[in-house]
Amino acid sequence: MTLDVRLLGPLEVRVDGRTAAIPRGNATTVLTLLLDDAGKVVPVSGLVAGVYADDLPLDPEAQIQNTVGVLRRQLGPARDRIETVGRAYRFRIDETELDTLRCKAKEALARKLRREGGSEKAAEVLREALAEWRGPALADLPGSVAGAIGRRLDEYRLTLLEQRIDADIETGRAPGAVQELRQLLAVHDTRQRLVALLMRALHACGRTAEALAAFADLKERLADALGADPNRELVDLHTAILRDQTAEPAPADAPEPAPAVPAPAMLPRTTPRFTGRESEIRALDRFLMDAGSEAGLAAVTGMGGAGKTATAVRWAHRVAHRFPDGQLYFNLRGFDPTAPAADPEAVLGEALAALGATRPPARLDERVGLYRTLLARRRVLIVLDNARDAAHVRPLLATAPGSFTIVTSRDRLVGLDMHEGAETVPLGPLTAAESEALLARRIGPERAAADRASVARIAAACGGLPLALTLVGSWAAADPGLALGALADRFDASPDVLGVLVASDTASDLRTVFDSSYQLLGERDAFAFCLFGLHPGPEMTPAAAASLMGAEPGEARAALAELAESNLVDRLPGDRYAMHRLLRDYAAECFADEVLAADRQAAALRMVEHYLYAAHRADRFPAGGHRVDLGPAAPGVHIEPIADVKAAAAWFAAEHPVLLGLAGTEGGFQADLRVWQLGWILAERLLDRGAARELLAVQRSALAAAERRGGAFERAVSLGYLGFAHAELGDADRARECAERAAALAERDGGTWARGFAAYTRAKTGAAEHARLAKDLFRSVQDRLWERRAAELVAQARNAADDRA
């Protein structure tokens, strides 16, 4: 069992990697008190005082016992960590399991290193300790107890920060310390330890006059604010600087220092309605922690509209306090439909200006060099939003220890993973619960709660895509009189969901967002993308893609890999590829608008034949009884390699929704034949599964295809299976009607087998006297399987007659 508890930021308790849901209120107060004294015995009386103060309930000790019981249940496998010790409790925890204990251990190590002369290593260890903070300590917890403990822990952070700056000054990093100290003093302007460090850093840089001025300014502030004087340490330091005893003076010809440049704070606004992505945020937290003092790099990737920018900016604000030297943000416009992609050289110019360079070099390589030099020994967070690919961001990556770069892109940025060691956070669609929560936050919880069913329907129509959900939520919020049920009905009634989700703002319009990715594809990859709009199912294999494209499997696999790299499809286990439903709707529009009619028909035929031949091959393993003669396949059709019964069953299970969807394909005269043949092959399997409604839908489509062709045999077979479906669904009248129509067609020009099948259908749907005719006709064409089936009907009819007698 693993335990990870964090107080230095929002309270987090993870047991075996899963967050324990600790109820807010008394439970978090008791937990905080126990963790604040981790490993020590805390009397029940102390917990009572901390939870209730002077407002004691009846039997407060019993209330505390109940609260401890709640905590133990929520901790699950870690419940035994809360130990009962007489009339007291103790939270047993290792220093590696609690962030405050880890900090104290690192502080002790840093002190030891400094005593041994290892100030540089000590500074690194202290940076690791400071990286434990994820925001103000316990800031998410209400109550005076959590507030007091949180303030004390944040004061401890400031003490660690002073120790780290002190070690930096000792190791020659005084210039970088000056700017950091000025920023800290802007908040803590009477903290004398910070002023002492600033004076030392300034004097080490040869800026003695500024060091003395810092002392004078503090003396004036202390007198005004507190009526006090500087402490003895500060006075002694001031005297030492006057005597020039603490540092080598700067050369007489040292240049006048440049005015301090404020740390950049370029992050855009984050939305207060941000919802979900908790696991992704935690992953970024972990990557930042793992980076330690190295130059960290993470990439947030996903399809257009997945919320990459919102997630990255949300997280950047969450951790901004860890980067005292500033935060840079640049929109690289890699997939912007209204503007060209940003030039890295121009972006570097903006970054250099933000970091204080007044005259950036002209050449790209010189700008990269200066950029990296300015970032050295600084802790800066860099957000590179909407990158085209890995090459687009490489010149902008931080390389010096301490800084962290986060990149967002619709590209999977595999190159950054391979060559720069980037950690990747892929964003998929939101869950149904997250989608509904996002809508509720936008339109108001009361309104959402009043019609939960409609909220669920709207969320489902948006496919978990944050951009779509946000757009619909803004419509509903702007029109309080709009009934959510009416809005849900618009989605349910329209086959064109993208048409419903039209927005005047190009950044919010899904078609425009998708188009900006589609336009970057090459001819081969664009054609493969369009074919997902023809394909009826949620997933596609490389062999299926090759058939649809009329290309070799290697070409199809390469196209799918490019689409996956661009986050236009997702690669699934089993070498299968899936496209988001709204993207498939857009692909269908592209297929209809951009692919020639003849090419559309040819692709439809190859698609049906791919699945038809695979189904025919897979159908041989269980029974092998169909008389379907498929003849040669169209050029470019590639058959799935189905080798045995197990593979056949797996293939049918995986492709079931695709096979049902193919029944409605229209691609010309030859495709109609293939649709009908597929319906015949699927009929027995659907009957065996008891899937009468699916059989009904498939055979209606097969009959429509047969009627377009005009063949009596084909129509008779489809009508026969329609009769079976109606019979299974309890509609005897329609079953008999279909059987009679099949018999009439077979008698006219369907042939012997069709007459036998029609007779069998009539016997199966209530006219048992036709069973013997069916048996004789199947025997005449030497179809042993159907002869045996007809014989079973004859026997059943005989037994029924005997029973009546």
Residue 255 predicted with pLDDT over 60: no
Measure the CA–CA gap between 212 and 151, rounded to whole angstroms.
32
Average pLDDT for 30-45 = 92
Please report how many Cα atoms fall inside a 13 Å half-sphere around the Cα of residue 457, on the Cβ side.
Answer: 14
C-beta of residue 322 within 8 angstroms of C-beta of residue 157: no
- With respect to CATH, is domain 596-804 assigned 1.25.40.10? yes
The answer to which of 108-117, 169-178, 382-391 has the lowest mean pLDDT is 169-178
Mean pLDDT, to the nearest integer, of 612-617? 91
702: number of Cβ within 10 Å: 27
Q: Give the model's confidence band at 768: pLDDT under 50 very low, under 70 low, under 90 confident, else very high.
A: confident
pLDDT digits (tens, 9 = 90+) for 745-759: 998 887 899 999 999
**Range(s) for CATH 3.40.50.300 in the chain?**
278-420
Reported as a single tens digit per residue, the pLDDT across 182-234 is 878 877 888 889 989 999 998 888 888 888 888 888 888 888 777 778 888 88
What's the chain's average pLDDT? 88
Lowest-confidence range among 168-182, 299-313, 575-589, 594-608? Answer: 168-182
Q: Look up residue 98 and give its amino acid.
A: L
For residue 254, the model assigns a pLDDT of: 40
Grade residue 261 by pLDDT with cuts at 50, 70 and 90. Answer: low
List, as one string, the DSSP characters of 83-113: EE-SSEEEE---GGGBHHHHHHHHHHHHHHH
Say if residue 181's pLDDT is above 70: yes
**278-420 adopts what CATH topology?**
Rossmann fold (3.40.50)
Question: Which residue from 398, 387, 321 is spatially nearest to 355, judged by alpha carbons?
Answer: 398
pLDDT digits (tens, 9 = 90+) for 623-648: 544 567 788 888 999 988 888 888 88
Every domain range in the chain assigned CATH 1.25.40.10: 180-248, 596-804
Q: How confident is the model at residue 276 (pLDDT cuts 50, 70, 90)?
A: confident
Least Cα distance to 169 among 258, 255, 246, 263 occurs for: 246
CB 48 within 8 A of CB 145: no
Q: Please state the rounded mean pLDDT for residues 17-36.
A: 89
Question: Which of 10-24, 149-163, 503-517 has the weakest average pLDDT?
Answer: 503-517
The Cα-based distances of 166 to 176, 215, 243, 345, 489 in angstroms read 12, 17, 21, 37, 65
CATH 1.10.10.10 residue ranges of the chain are 1-171
User: pLDDT by residue (tens digit) across 660-671?
Assistant: 998 778 767 788
Residue 154 — pLDDT band, cuts 50, 70, 90? confident
Summarised one tens digit per residue, pLDDT across range 441-494 is: 888 888 989 899 999 999 999 999 999 998 888 888 888 888 899 889 988 887
Report residue 228 as tokens.
Answer: 């006090």
Q: pLDDT-derived band of residue 621, with 50, 70 and 90 as boundaries?
A: low
Looking at residue 390, its pLDDT comes to 93
Q: How far apart are CA 572 and CA 472, in angstroms?
A: 29
Host H or E run for residue 482: none
1-171: CATH topology: Arc Repressor Mutant, subunit A (1.10.10)
How would residue 53 be classed by pLDDT, with cut points 50, 70 and 90?
A: confident
Calculate mean pLDDT across residues 334-343: 84
Residue 247 has pLDDT above 80, yes or no: no
Decide the pairing of beta strands 327-331 and 381-387.
parallel
Output the CA torsion sign for 223, 226, 228, 229.
negative
Residue 256, pLDDT score: 44
Give pLDDT, residue 207.
87
pLDDT at residue 249 in the model: 42
Q: Among 425-429, 511-515, 785-789, name the most confident range.
A: 425-429
Q: What is the pLDDT of residue 146?
A: 87
C-alpha to C-alpha distance for 531 and 336, rounded to whole angstroms: 25
Average pLDDT over residues 781-786: 88
Using a 10 angstrom Cβ sphere, with 0-12 exposed, 13-18 middle and 19 or more buried, the burial of residue 560 is buried
Beta bridge partners of 91: 82
Q: 260: pLDDT confidence band, cut at 50, 70 and 90?
A: low
CA distance 355 to 357: 6
Out of 40-54, 138-152, 178-192, give the one with best mean pLDDT. Answer: 40-54
CA-based R_g, the chain, Å:
36
Q: Are 437 and 329 in contact (CB under 8 A)?
A: no
pLDDT tens track for 487-536: 899 888 877 788 788 776 777 788 888 988 998 899 999 999 999 999 99
Q: Domain 180-248 falls in which CATH fold? A: 1.25.40
Of 182-191, 558-567, 589-598, 621-630, minimum mean pLDDT range: 621-630
Average pLDDT over residues 48-54: 86
More confident residue, 184 or 579: 579
411: region left, alpha or beta (phi > 0 left; psi from -120 to 50 alpha): beta
Looking only at the bridges linking them, the beta strands covering 296-301 and 404-409 are: parallel
Span 365-375, average pLDDT: 88
Quick one: three-class SS letters along 413-462?
CHHHHHHHCCEEEECCCCCHHHHHHHHHHHHCHHHHHHCHHHHHHHHHHC
Is residue 709 very low, low, confident or very high in pLDDT (cuts 50, 70, 90)? confident
Residue in the structure block whose two tokens are 């009546």? 804
Mean pLDDT of 291-306: 89
What is the CA angle 103-106-111, rounded to 5? 125
Question: What is the model's pLDDT at position 257?
Answer: 44
User: Is residue 615 predicted with pLDDT exceeding 70?
Assistant: yes
